[in-house]
Amino acid sequence: MGAPILRYFEFAHLNAGPLRNTSAKFHALATDVDETLPDGPEKSTAMRKLLEAKDAAVRAALDA
């Protein structure tokens, strides 16, 4: 079972196109980070900041 924050990286609900493609890339990276790095405060910070970056990138993709 992955970290609870991974639920915010789901993208299946998005229509095909720039939003889904952008979100999918962040999902892949978040999953990799969760699976490969040891649990701890730095991993938690990395995941939160990755989520912030994903949200910004998806908003940017609205204009694509």
Residue 8 pLDDT grade (very low, low, confident, very high; cuts 50, 70, 90): very high
Of all residues in the chain, what percent carry a pLDDT higher than 70? 98
Output the pLDDT for position 64. Answer: 84
CA–CA dist 24, 46 (Å, integer): 18
- Give the residue-averaged pLDDT of 14-41: 97
Q: Would you kindly state where each structural domain of the chain is located, as residue ranges?
A: 38-64
Q: Cα dist. 56→25, 37, 48 in Å?
A: 13, 24, 13
Q: Cα dist. 14→11, 32, 44, 58, 59 in Å?
A: 6, 21, 25, 11, 13
